[in-house]
Structure 1
Amino acid sequence: MSRSAVLELFTQIDGLPFGAAERALIDRAIALAEEADDGVLAYEARLRLTASAKMTGDTDAMLASFGWCLGMHDSDPALYPLRVGELDLLWQFKWMAGTLGASPLFPRAEIDAVLEEMETRYRRAGVGLSGVLQARFDDAVDNLDEAAADSARAALRREPRDEYSHCDACVRSEDAAYLASVGREAEALARFDEIVDQNLSCGEEPETALSRALLPWLRAGEFETAKAAHLRSYRLARPRADTIGIIANHLVFCAVTGNEARGLMLLERHIGWLAHDSLNARAHFAALRSFGVLLDAVVRSGHAEATVRGADSDELVPFFGAHDGEWTAAELAVASWAAAERLAHAFDERNGNDRHMRRVAESRALADEHFDVPIQGEGFLPSIPTVVEADPVDAPGWLVRARELLGMGVYGDSAAAARRGLEAGVPARADRIRSSLYAALIQALISAGELDEAAARQVDRIVVLREMGWDDQADVEVVLGLIMLGTAADDDTHVLEMTLQAADARDANSETRADLALTLGSVHLQEGRAEEALALVRRAVELLEKTPDSPAWPSALMFLAHALARTDELPDAAEALDRLLEFELDRAFRATAQHLRAQLAGAGGDIDTGLTAAESALALWTRLGHRSGMVDAAVLSASLLRDAARYDEAVTRWRLAVREAELAERPDVDGLRFGLGRLLVQAGQAEAAADVLADVYAAEIDSEAKPGARAETLFWLGQAHRQGDDGAAAYGAWSRAIELYTEAGDPIGATHAGIALGGLLFSYDDEESVSVFEAALSSARSAGDELQLLVEALHSLGRARCRFGDEAGLVELDEVLAIARAEEADWLVADVTDSKARALQQLDRLAEAVPVALSAADGYAASDDTVAAGLAELLAARMLVTLNNGEAAVAIYRGAIERLAEVPQARVSATLELGDTLEQLGRPAEAAQARATIDG
């Protein structure tokens, strides 16, 4: 090992944010330094470890590392100095008292000794005492000693700031939190406002301060401020497990603002963090109280039986105790309060007072506070009861069970059910039941990959077929083996055709020939030969007409519906399914048929029929307890609801799909979460969308998803942030999306993201939008035959150039006009003409702009867009007024007012301007008459 290797690791460490990757490099650096017996490098590495452990909530590692470094410094201060570059042992001393005080395991005397030693070392080093006084203040506040806190605060305010003072953000945050805790909320809010107004920040700010200010802002009636702070603070805090204390404040916010469902979702997301830092009992105390406050609110909202996912983790047993199965909200509320009270007793016993128990009482009293601050996008999902069905009592019942399990993909259980049916005995003259049980057993074995066992059971089935007198079917299965029961593939096409021809030649049983036709048709359908499949399935249906009681009818009609759908004969496919649903079907088969019926109805624009069918499928899969089927049906229902613009219902259904996919551990769960996030954006529920999509992006980072997938998630995350008026977050998301789309070689995605980012900047009147639009146009030109995208990029760039005084933008607008005219896109011609008129206005070429605006108005009118025509005329009239041509403007104003009749604000503005123009022309009577129409 060379020093250079460790120094290179230091460079990498210092360039990374605190977290797992950074910690892994620190551990590597320590190992290499110790391997080389280089104490100086080991000292530097552990100074980094102390800081990293502090920022990631690893208290054990922080205390051990700090103690080791302190010992090394004391052993040789020259070799192991207090400060190494930006790393400072005295600065790290500021964390020690608070760390010990956070656990009742450390006695009060030990905390006081640390504070005394800290002051001694600061004085010995000749540095200011601001850091010491801040540590004393924080210790008093954290341990609820109001008298000591007041004294320390006064001393701190007298002490000049120095290099060991907290940053401005932290000083104000700690001070504001103290003032709020002692009821001085007006002063606290002034401090919190300073943090926001001055945009103060550091490693843990402003998210800490914003979360602390939530209740004071709510109590002061500043609801929108509190809501915005909640959303921003939570977004900043959510990636780090050491922020459980901040999360606690957000859970309380949700509880007292009527957002119990959102709070429960956040609790489920972060409950595991309770076990992240075993020594930070202060954070545990805050979290447990917040759990109690939130869960009590959930119970009061009527959802006492809602399950709290994640609460049954083994890591949480030390907090809540052992529990059989999932915790309900009501049960966990009781356990949370009990755990909080245990910690309160421990802290109070250590501190010699009852202040922590009083804090528990204060938290319980929050049940009496409520503020109406709704956040869209959350809602309680229905509880799905565990399905427990009695075993069938006879062979027909076991046949139904086997088929349902087969339809659910539970092949081992399906085979077991079929065997139970065969063991149960078959009623007299019910050989068809026996043959069907063998068929179900064989199909389950094939699906499970147990082909040898399946072949052996087919021998048994053939014996039954001959006993039934079905020699034709038996002969075919002897020749084709398992092909007839589930293994048919493209390679089997020829032998199936030959067997079907032979069966026709000897006029074999019609059901046997129908079975052959269906098997051959299924192969064609699998291989994409829909026309060939349809001909065979129709022939099978014709053959089955001779035996109307044949059990093959449901399969035949299902195949027919699929084949008709593949050949775009949707009405006929729907008719086949309607006929199928008249049969007595097992629930899995019926659910599958209803699902296809819903898809066909949706494709045909019959949303109501589609929803009825999708909901029927969902109900059937729910009764069967088949989570994967529930997921697919819920997504289909959500998609249909979205198409019907019933967004809130669609979101609820999609959330149900995500929950069941998580419980089923489906591999596509992240894709479903992405779909939910995109739907939330479409539903206008920006805050919820940003939460969901941020989770998806984090999961994609962890799984090293492909750049294109991450780019798409960021594109929609940017849309959510933009919709939520968080321009900075949208800028970051779209900027990174463009990079990832480019890395993935996706010019279409890069163009979309570039247009979105450019539009954001343009809305802020930022000239950087021009360069962003230029890059988007370059991507659009390289995207191939994407005319609409090219038009959008050209239009955006042309408008932006002209807005910032560059006449070259007119070239892009003229190119769009040429494309629009070539495509005979009349409305687009009018729209771009309108943009050109406004561009000319911005370039101070008003005389040219007026006829262009009037041309746009004519184009809009011809396209039946009356409002846009009126606005274009209003633009022309205003420019004429600026050109001192009021006479011409009057007539145009009148036309604009008429067209803007349904847009009151624009109509009033135009009418007032007309009055002013008439007044200036010396026509006061007409001016008064025009203004009088406003009231009329």
Structure 2
Amino acid sequence: MTDETRVREMIAHVWDMPYGAAHIAAAEEAMRHADALGSADLAFHARMAATPAYQHGGEPAKAFVTFSWCLSEYDKDPGRHKAEDAELLLWYFKYVISSLTKFPEVPLDRTYEVLDDMQRRYTIGGHSLHAVYQYRWVVAHHLGDDAAADEWYAKWCAAPRDENSDCAGCDPTSKVAHLVSRGRFEEAVALGEPVLAGRLGCREQPQSILSELMVPYVRTGRLEEARDAHRRAYRAVRGMLASMGDINQHIYFCGVTGNEVRGLELIERHLDWLDRAPTPLTAMYFAAASGLVLRRLAEAGHGDVTLRRAAGEVTVAALAAELAAQARGLAARFDERNRTGHQSRRVEEWLTAEPIVERLPLTATARSLTSPASTEPEPVEPEPVEVEVPDGISMEELLDRIEQGYRTGDERTAFGLVRAFEERFADEKLTDEQAARRADYLAAAAANERGDLAEAERQWTEAVRLYADLGHEDRKHTARGRLGLTICELGRQDEGLPMTEDAAAYLLTQGAPHLRASAAHRLAGALLRGQRPDEALAALDVAAEYAPDSPNPYTVFAVALSRAQCLGMLGRVGESVTAARQAHEGFARLDHRPGRAAAAWAMGLGLEMTGDADGAVAAFDDAIAHVADPRARADARRHRARLLANTPRAAEVIDDLIELVALAEERAPLGARPGSRSDLASAQLRFDLAVAYRHAGRLLDAAEIAEEAVPALDAAERPDLADRCRYLLASIYREMGETDGALAMFDQLAVNLDGFDNAPARGQMHEEAAEILYRLDRDAEAATRFVTAAETFRACGLAIDEARTRRMSALSLRWAGDPDAAVARLAEADAVLAAVDSDEPPARWERAMLGYDGARVLLGADRLDDALARLDGVAARFRSIDAYAEALQAELFAGELLLRQGRAAEAEAQLRPVLAAAPTGSDLSQNAAWLLCEALEARGRSEEAQRIREEYGLND
């Protein structure tokens, strides 16, 4: 290859590259090599390629130089240039005029000179002045000359479009900007929406027109459309320095829609771009939009929140003042150049803007400045039971009825009777026995109805003292056991456990039989709170033995529930589920809602641990339906949501997860944005919500929440979960068509999964990245990446995976136009698979695919005979593992190769069975019919071929 050929290839590569820093670097490298050769032709074409690279890569000032040089070279001798060169130069005038207005150091007269030259060349060439009028409007709009802008806008709209006009998306985008500047928001929306409904192939669309339409959508009450426009457009421009102007609009949008918190995230993400903004005008509006958001944050009391930037941390209040001053300073420079005050007025309007709407949530979990500090649900007390108490009832009779309620498990009636006793006999003098019983019953109500353990401790202490003075041993030890358990629940196990043990020892040996089950049950509770589950389980065995003697019908099932909880602590999950199910069935049969909810919760946890997701979901559903405490219900919803997030029922739990994520978000201080959040539970909830969104088909929502979850999981120091979330995000990006994001994520995962133990996963990341490159027709890159995957699989002994990725590398090289390398790589795959001693389905599949794709590779090398021989037996291998469609495809390919070899009769015999077996209307059917017609034509049977074409619709 000569030096000249190599430089021409470099220039061609520049034209094919995506915009950005690498694009500019490649363009400058091509210019250096062209200049080194001393070739005026190569120097011209290198600079023609560099001009759009600079314009769209964020360095438009450099495009002034390359454009001027190329224009001068063209004018020296137009005859030695191609027509395409003249056409591109006419197009580049638009770049230059638009950019000239954005540098205050460029005299305005210079811009008008370039405009006049543009119009002269368009007129001489017989072109429409549509683009000229548009860019005269650009200048008038920049100056704030409304009359001139209106005049040029009218001419622009009236002039016919031609090949020099901006594309079908960009032209209306500028027109929307004009209408917005005049407050004609309904017209702006009406102009933009048909554009969005059509097909847009420009790299700048639809994100640019969506960015322009955000504010008109809000002004016209189309809030859903505004939200969607922001979310879609910002994703497209967030990584492009050249699109910083669009990013400015998104920050401003956040400032006027009550999304200052979101705006703060955008400012911090792009703040370091300010020092390398594409133009001073871009920098000015970034400073103005950011100044607006930061001012509103400071006014809301968040001026001390810090932001991170390359120069160090800075507070919101300090940065607000700094950027406002920068924006005003730049505006003054533009107005001095322009001899107007327009840019200063515009900057002041942005800096002092107030919200158009009070609140426009951009996502379901979006945070606002006015959100409450916490929305955690508080437990609710059940409605008190109203009980009828006869007018003439005595204190003794009423105390007996209370005792009967407690003894039989009708606690709510007992609580109502306790209230009635307090109301009716508050002023009566009580005997010591009545006072003891009253204290006992008041303690139970305090503990079990209101959760007031301190009051329960006080009352039971009094009851124990009075019962002891009266010599009522059963009552004393029962109250003392309850007191001990209460003290354990208050965290004083060393004090409470001995009380409960002593009380249980007495009641289990000397107490009435009906008291023994409860005594052993209380002891188990105290032991569990002391983290002594083995002893607690022994106590529960005793409680279960005496439970049938209890007058309380719920005792048997309460003991079973405690047993389930104890077994769970001991890791005996299967037994725990059995005990919880027994409790659940009993409580459900007796219609005891609190017990049923608690048992369902315990059963759900156990089933979740055993991998029975369906059973766990059903259990949590039952708990949610019967629990009274909102916090307990939230716990059940969280577990249920995490189980369903990765299933076809994901849509059912999105709202639950949103509430839980929002609650976690509101708890965090404003400065603790996702990248610095260390709350693992919060990060996991975001991951779960992202999973649910993806399975519900809401990919944009899934991507946004997963992007929050990754840095949060990193901050929580859970690299395993963070990488799982990265893999999820890579998959989402791939499904959304955001292939650059997917490739970057797979690259990061390949680095993170370092080490031999992770080699299979690392190989998978390389392979999935290669598949994306393959689908993008970046075949040479794909071939290299497939080999990287193959070498990784080889290192960990995964021969079939290695063979597959080497096969795909060979196929990629075939499409990259390197048939010799493709055949060599195919031989590597053959050698790997030949050493595999297995006839299992995966090995059969790979042998069949290696035969089929190998034939494709050999066809690319013009080795038709070898390709056909390679297909021998492939269809049979596919059928041996029930891959019938692939078998037909292999037979179709064999028919095509026979036809290419001029063996029409054999091709016909090969293709007829394929056509007969192919599903009607499928691509396979259409291709088989088409090839069969070709075979028939080759055999002189045109009428038969025509009938097949008509039958299969091939004439259309």
TM bin, normalised by shorter chain, reads 0.5 to 0.7
Task: Tell me the residue number matched to 1:907.
Answer: 925
Verify the 8 A CA contact 2:482 2:522 in the aligned structure 1.
no
Verify the 8 A CA contact 2:703 2:732 in the aligned structure 1.
yes
Measured in 1, the distance between the counterparts of 2:532 and 2:937 equals: 78
Measured in 2, the distance between the counterparts of 1:640 and 1:569 equals: 23
| Aligned CA distance change for structure 1 residues 533 and 741 (closer, same or farther; 3 Å) | farther
Verify the 8 A CA contact 2:503 2:519 in the aligned structure 1.
no
Task: Tell me the residue number matched to 1:897.
Answer: 915
Determine if the alignment matches structure 1 residue 863 to structure 2 residue 881: yes
Residues 411-434 of structure 1 deviation map (CA, whole Å, 9 limit, x = unaligned):
xxxxxxxx9999999999788755
| Aligned CA distance change for structure 1 residues 638 and 898 (closer, same or farther; 3 Å) | farther
What displacement does 1:670 show?
1.7
What displacement does 1:769 show?
2.5
Task: Tell me the residue number matched to 1:841.
Answer: 856
Measured in 1, the distance between the counterparts of 2:762 and 2:420 equals: 59
Determine if the alignment matches structure 1 residue 757 to structure 2 residue 769: yes
Q: Tell me, what secondary structure is at the counterpart of 1:549?
A: coil
| Aligned CA distance change for structure 1 residues 929 and 836 (closer, same or farther; 3 Å) | same
Task: Tell me the residue number matched to 1:879.
Answer: 897
Q: Tell me, what secondary structure is at the counterpart of 1:869?
A: helix
Residues 85-137 of structure 1 deviation map (CA, whole Å, 9 limit, x = unaligned):
xxxxxxxxx99x99xxxxxxxxxxxxxxxx9xx77xx89xxx99669999x99
Residues 624-679 of structure 1 deviation map (CA, whole Å, 9 limit, x = unaligned):
442x8526514513633642x13433434432332233345665112211222233
Measured in 2, the distance between the counterparts of 1:524 and 1:927 equals: 88
Measured in 1, the distance between the counterparts of 2:579 and 2:457 equals: 38
Verify the 8 A CA contact 1:684 1:723 in the aligned structure 2.
no
Verify the 8 A CA contact 2:844 2:881 in the aligned structure 1.
no
Letter in 2 for 1:912: W
| Aligned CA distance change for structure 1 residues 129 and 663 (closer, same or farther; 3 Å) | same
What displacement does 1:896 show?
3.2
After TM superposition, the structure 1 stretch with the greater mean CA deviation from structure 2, 241-250 or 904-913, is: 241-250
Determine if the alignment matches structure 1 residue 768 to structure 2 residue 785: no
Measured in 2, the distance between the counterparts of 1:464 and 1:882 equals: 108
Determine if the alignment matches structure 1 residue 736 to structure 2 residue 745: no
Determine if the alignment matches structure 1 residue 567 to structure 2 residue 574: yes
User: Which sections of structure 2, spanning at least 5 residues, go unmatched?
Assistant: 1-19, 21-57, 59-97, 116-135, 154-169, 272-282, 304-340, 388-417, 427-433, 669-678, 814-820
Aligned length: 679
Verify the 8 A CA contact 1:734 1:757 in the aligned structure 2.
yes
What displacement does 1:865 show?
3.8
Within a 5 Å distance, the mapping from 1:412-431 to structure 2 comes to none
| Aligned CA distance change for structure 1 residues 908 and 354 (closer, same or farther; 3 Å) | same
Residues 33-83 of structure 1 deviation map (CA, whole Å, 9 limit, x = unaligned):
xxxxxxxxxxxxxxxxxxxxxx9xxxxxxxxxxxxxxxxxxxxxxxxxxxx
| Aligned CA distance change for structure 1 residues 605 and 599 (closer, same or farther; 3 Å) | same
Verify the 8 A CA contact 2:580 2:602 in the aligned structure 1.
no
Measured in 2, the distance between the counterparts of 1:902 and 1:534 equals: 67
Measured in 2, the distance between the counterparts of 1:697 and 1:199 equals: 28
Q: Tell me, what secondary structure is at the counterpart of 1:661?
A: helix
Letter in 2 for 1:212: E
Measured in 2, the distance between the counterparts of 1:820 and 1:648 equals: 44
Task: Tell me the residue number matched to 2:474.
Answer: 469
| Aligned CA distance change for structure 1 residues 917 and 727 (closer, same or farther; 3 Å) | same
Letter in 2 for 1:838: D
Letter in 1 for 2:517: E
Task: Tell me the residue number matched to 1:74.
Answer: none
Q: Tell me, what secondary structure is at the counterpart of 1:918?
A: helix
Residues 234-273 of structure 1 deviation map (CA, whole Å, 9 limit, x = unaligned):
6769999995632455899xxxxxxxxxx99x77634898
Measured in 2, the distance between the counterparts of 1:533 and 1:926 equals: 88
Measured in 2, the distance between the counterparts of 1:933 and 1:915 equals: 11
TM-score normalised according to structure 2 size: 0.53
Task: Tell me the residue number matched to 2:585.
Answer: 578
Measured in 2, the distance between the counterparts of 1:238 and 1:503 equals: 82
Measured in 2, the distance between the counterparts of 1:675 and 1:582 equals: 35
| Aligned CA distance change for structure 1 residues 661 and 526 (closer, same or farther; 3 Å) | farther
| Aligned CA distance change for structure 1 residues 747 and 658 (closer, same or farther; 3 Å) | farther
Within a 5 Å distance, the mapping from 1:116-155 to structure 2 comes to 141=141, 144-147=144-147
Measured in 1, the distance between the counterparts of 2:520 and 2:245 equals: 62
Task: Tell me the residue number matched to 1:594.
Answer: 600
Residues 322-343 of structure 1 deviation map (CA, whole Å, 9 limit, x = unaligned):
xxxxxxxxxxxxxxxxxxxxxx
| Aligned CA distance change for structure 1 residues 611 and 506 (closer, same or farther; 3 Å) | closer
Name the % identity.
17
Within a 5 Å distance, the mapping from 1:617-696 to structure 2 comes to 617-618=623-624, 624-626=629-631, 629-630=633-634, 632-637=636-641, 639-640=643-644, 642-643=646-647, 645-663=648-666, 667-696=680-709
Measured in 1, the distance between the counterparts of 2:436 and 2:460 equals: 22
Task: Tell me the residue number matched to 2:521.
Answer: 515
Letter in 1 for 2:687: F
CA RMSD, Structure 1 to Structure 2 (Å):
7.1
Task: Tell me the residue number matched to 2:262.
Answer: 269
Within a 5 Å distance, the mapping from 1:180-199 to structure 2 comes to 181=181
What displacement does 1:932 show?
5.7
Q: Tell me, what secondary structure is at the counterpart of 1:765?
A: coil
Verify the 8 A CA contact 1:821 1:829 in the aligned structure 2.
no
Measured in 1, the distance between the counterparts of 2:925 and 2:853 equals: 20
Verify the 8 A CA contact 1:707 1:743 in the aligned structure 2.
no
What displacement does 1:724 show?
0.9
What displacement does 1:693 show?
2.1
Q: Tell me, what secondary structure is at the counterpart of 2:552?
A: coil
Task: Tell me the residue number matched to 2:312.
Answer: none
Measured in 2, the distance between the counterparts of 1:853 and 1:427 equals: 98
Determine if the alignment matches structure 1 residue 245 to structure 2 residue 254: no
Task: Tell me the residue number matched to 1:295.
Answer: none
Measured in 1, the distance between the counterparts of 2:458 and 2:662 equals: 41
What displacement does 1:454 show?
11
Measured in 2, the distance between the counterparts of 1:799 and 1:181 equals: 54
Verify the 8 A CA contact 1:715 1:737 in the aligned structure 2.
yes
Measured in 2, the distance between the counterparts of 1:704 and 1:479 equals: 40
Verify the 8 A CA contact 2:782 2:809 in the aligned structure 1.
yes
Measured in 1, the distance between the counterparts of 2:435 and 2:927 equals: 86
Task: Tell me the residue number matched to 2:122.
Answer: none
Within a 5 Å distance, the mapping from 1:81-160 to structure 2 comes to 141=141, 144-147=144-147
Verify the 8 A CA contact 2:485 2:522 in the aligned structure 1.
no
Measured in 2, the distance between the counterparts of 1:894 and 1:539 equals: 80
| Aligned CA distance change for structure 1 residues 742 and 439 (closer, same or farther; 3 Å) | same
Letter in 1 for 2:474: G
Letter in 2 for 1:751: G
Task: Tell me the residue number matched to 2:211.
Answer: 211
Q: Tell me, what secondary structure is at the counterpart of 1:742?
A: coil
What displacement does 1:566 show?
0.7
| Aligned CA distance change for structure 1 residues 557 and 239 (closer, same or farther; 3 Å) | farther
2:845 aligns with one of 806, 830, 852: 830
Verify the 8 A CA contact 1:873 1:893 in the aligned structure 2.
yes
Measured in 1, the distance between the counterparts of 2:207 and 2:809 equals: 36
Q: Tell me, what secondary structure is at the counterpart of 1:212?
A: helix
What displacement does 1:826 show?
1.7
Q: Tell me, what secondary structure is at the counterpart of 1:838?
A: helix
Verify the 8 A CA contact 2:680 2:713 in the aligned structure 1.
no
What displacement does 1:907 show?
2.0
Letter in 2 for 1:696: A
Task: Tell me the residue number matched to 1:258.
Answer: none
Within a 5 Å distance, the mapping from 1:433-582 to structure 2 comes to 433=441, 436=444, 467=472, 469=474, 510-511=516-517, 514-515=520-521, 518=524, 540-547=543-550, 549=552, 552-561=555-564, 563=567, 566-567=573-574, 573-582=580-589
Task: Tell me the residue number matched to 1:156.
Answer: none
Kindly name which structure, 1 or 2, has the bigger radius of gyration based on alpha carbons.
2
| Aligned CA distance change for structure 1 residues 283 and 892 (closer, same or farther; 3 Å) | same
